[in-house]
Every structure is written in C-alpha cells, then in structure tokens.
A = this chain, B = another copy of it.
Amino acid sequence: MRQPTRISTIGEDTRPFVEDYLLYLLAASSHALSAEFHAEVKRRGLKINEWRVLACLVDRPGLMLTELAGLVLFEQSHLTKVIDRMVDQGLVERSKTDDDRRKVLIQITDQGRKIVEPLIVAARHHEKRAVEKLDGAELGLLKHILKKLIEGRNAATVTAENQNAKK
C-alpha cells in the first residue's frame, strides 16, 4: 500500500493540497454556509433556484433573461426552464420589450415580492450568525476581496471573448 506523496515544492503548506487551495476553500465555504440557509428556504416552500432568482430580481426593475442567467449563475437554457415554472406559479412575469423583439424581460411579481421579502430578512439574520466567529473588520475585508475576485474574472472573461471575436 502506497504512502501518500507530498506534491508541494519547498516552503509550502504541509497539509493536504486542497486544504489550502483557494478554489477549494471558496467552494467549501460556499457549500457549508449555503446548505444551512437552504434548509430555511425549503422550509418556506421555495426551491433554491427560485430563491436565487427572486433575490436577484427583487430590487431591480427587471432583467433580460440572459443578464439574469449571468447573475444567478445558471446556464441560459436552464434558466429558461426555471422561469417557465416560476411564471406558472405567479412569482415572476415575462414580457417583451419594444426595442428588440428577441429579448424577454423578467420581472418579479407582487406575489413573488411578498414571498421573497421575509426570506431576505432571514438571509440577513443568517449571515449575521454565520460570521459571528469573525472578528472586527474581517467580514468587510472578506467581502471586499471577494468582490475584487469576481470583478477581475468578469473583466478577464470579457477580454477573452473580445479576443475570440477578433478572429
């Protein structure tokens, strides 16, 4: 039976690779915290997907399907199906814009709003409890850094796409 191998080069962390790998830490923290709150969402009869969509729509005037997909981190074709169900439930509505008849504008309905608003309050409570162990400036710092990472990546993606477009 083989012994575990150390892959690290000199001067690195001596723990297992993933334990200090940023992408793992992000996935694991997201997974852990989300799981807790998702229990709350389900308790109130919403699906996680629906919660995400409503949370993204609630304080916006309406979004194009594709914009919304980027925001909620779903594939476009997947979001189309989620929205189908949500329209049936009266949580959101589809409408066409005049300027471009391909576009579909998604807006939250009053009913959707009624359902999501208390959940947002619950989400804020949950966030407070979840970060209790962090001290002082850490939460602000964390959010600041995460926003930087997200922004950097969006820029990177856009750049890559533009370069493809140039071909």
Cα(A146)–Cα(B29), bound, Å: 6
CB–CB A146/B17 < 8 A: no
Cα(A141)–Cα(B18), bound, Å: 17
Please report whether the interface of chain A is mostly helix, strand, loop or mixed according to DSSP: helix
**At the interface, yes or no: A10 with Cβ under 8 Å from chain B?**
no
Mark each residue of chain A from 111 to 144: 1 if its CB lies under 8 Å from any CB of chain B, else 0.
Answer: 0010001001101000100111110001101110
Cα(A36)–Cα(B131), bound, Å: 28
CB–CB B59/A16 < 8 A: yes
CB–CB A17/B110 < 8 A: no
Residues in B with CB closer than 8 Å to A60 are 4, 16
Cα(A4)–Cα(B58), bound, Å: 7
Residues in B with CB closer than 8 Å to A30 are 23, 26-27, 30
In which size bucket is the chain A interface? 35 or more
Residues in B with CB closer than 8 Å to A165 are none
**At the interface, yes or no: A82 with Cβ under 8 Å from chain B?**
no
CB–CB A142/B143 < 8 A: no
**Most B-side CB within 10 Å, residue of A17, A62, A143:** A17
- Identify the closest chain B residue to A27 (Cβ): B30
Binding site for B on A (CB under 8 A): 1-7, 16-18, 20-34, 36-37, 55-56, 58-62, 71, 73, 107, 110, 113, 117, 120-121, 123, 127, 130-134, 138-139, 141-143, 145-150, 152-154, 156-157
For the complex of A and B, list the 10 residue pairs with the smallest distance between their C-beta atoms, beginning with the closest: A32-B153, A26-B30, A25-B146, A133-B152, A29-B149, A4-B59, A29-B146, A16-B59, A31-B73, A30-B30
